[in-house]
Homo-oligomer: A and B are copies of this chain.
């Protein structure tokens, strides 16, 4: 059946959004085309009217995932006091809430393992997302006087990503909380972000 002309674009967007959520939650290998289409309220047959293949869907969904995650930090004003900005990013990233919402949070901790095994083209898009986040962290670091703020931001991002990845993977809840808290403490001390 035919719907109004923008219907297809809307549907495509819906499929992409569902895919982005499910991929983060389950990993690209564990999402099925049929499942994504069902969540979008459609049957799996129509999928290939929107995307050439499952790989193409995954590749496109990467952009959606990074956009989703970025939206969660939109409340943070990047032009505020650099220490406050940095602290807001760190507090959010290493929060239990972020750890516990795999399907809505940053794709890096969940998916870097999976995409390390993916096609170069897919990894390139992932790399662009990494650089985009690093650039945002680099701004307050530059204001704090770091000569090579971009390099420092990559090191900080690595620590944030590793902290959340490990906190999600260890079984013991106490250890998981400790991973987040200890990582956060170390960062706050290093950049002198404590509230005194």
- A: residues with CB less than 8 A from B are 25-27, 29-30, 102, 108-117, 120-127, 130-131, 148, 150-152, 154-163, 165-166, 168-172, 175, 178-179, 181-183, 185-187, 190
Contact = CB atoms under 8 A, between A and B. Distances in A.
Contacts of A29: 27, 29-30
Given A117-B26, A124-B171, A112 B166 contact: yes
A116 B102 contact: yes
Nearest to A121: B171
A133 to B, nearest CB: 10
A115 B169 contact: yes
A124 B182 contact: no
If over half of A's interface residues share one DSSP class (helix, strand or loop), that class is named, otherwise mixed; here it is: helix
Contacts of A154: 166, 178-179, 182-183
B155 A158 contact: no
A183 B157 CA distance: 9
Nearest to A122: B171
